[in-house]
Amino acid sequence: MVTKQEAAAAVRHAKVVTGVTWAQLAQAVGRPLAWTTAALLGQHPMSKDEAATAAALLELGEDAALAFQQQPTRGALDSAVPVDPTIYRLYEVIQVYGPTVKELIHEQCGDGIMSAINFRLDVQRVPDPAGDRVVITLDGKYLPYQWE
């Protein structure tokens, strides 16, 4: 009986041992890069085939493959405010620009939200002469407040 958290730890370890990359895992599984990464870190359930493919590539056993298929209880941070600097910068963006994003969603779309469920995410390194950039795209369906 392996939990999704234990499976995620096994994935990180197996990546170091086997040298397999997230990109290779995504290609093998046939799903987008960020989705595959999130799924193997325990945030999305995989199909049986996806799980088997990923486990094989990572040289992990059946227990891990089973864990990959389970319905997750989502939430990946150790504390309410993340401490790791790479993740903290995302929190800093919300602290500084959260109300800005809210104002612009309301101005452009009305009273509603960007869905985090009907949602996809992409992370890209973009070459730039002044220093390469990390571009993160959050792309979610607009959901208007709708009562009736």
The catalytic residues are 89, 92, 115
Q: How far is the CB of 56 from a copy of itself (least distance, A)?
A: 19
Q: How does DSSP classify residue 111?
A: S
Place of tokens 């941070």: 77
User: Applying CB under 8 A, does 7 fall inside the site for a copy of itself?
Assistant: no
Q: How far is the CB of 46 from a copy of itself (least distance, A)?
A: 11
Q: How far is the CB of 48 from a copy of itself (least distance, A)?
A: 11
Burial class (CB in 10 A: 0-12, 13-18, 19+), 140: middle
Contact 120, 34 (CB under 8 A): yes
Q: How does DSSP classify residue 46?
A: P
Which of 18, 21, 27, 47: binder of a copy of itself (CB under 8 A)? 21
Distance CA 71, CA 146 (A): 29
Which of 7, 35, 60, 68: binder of a copy of itself (CB under 8 A)? 35
User: Applying CB under 8 A, does 19 fall inside the site for a copy of itself?
Assistant: no
User: Applying CB under 8 A, does 64 fall inside the site for a copy of itself?
Assistant: no
Distance CA 144, CA 56 (A): 43
Q: How does DSSP classify residue 43?
A: S
The residues with which 17 forms a beta bridge, in sequence order, are none
Q: How far is the CB of 88 from a copy of itself (least distance, A)?
A: 7
Residues 95-114 that bind a copy of itself (CB under 8 A): 95-109, 111-114
User: Applying CB under 8 A, does 48 fall inside the site for a copy of itself?
Assistant: no
User: Applying CB under 8 A, does 131 fall inside the site for a copy of itself?
Assistant: yes
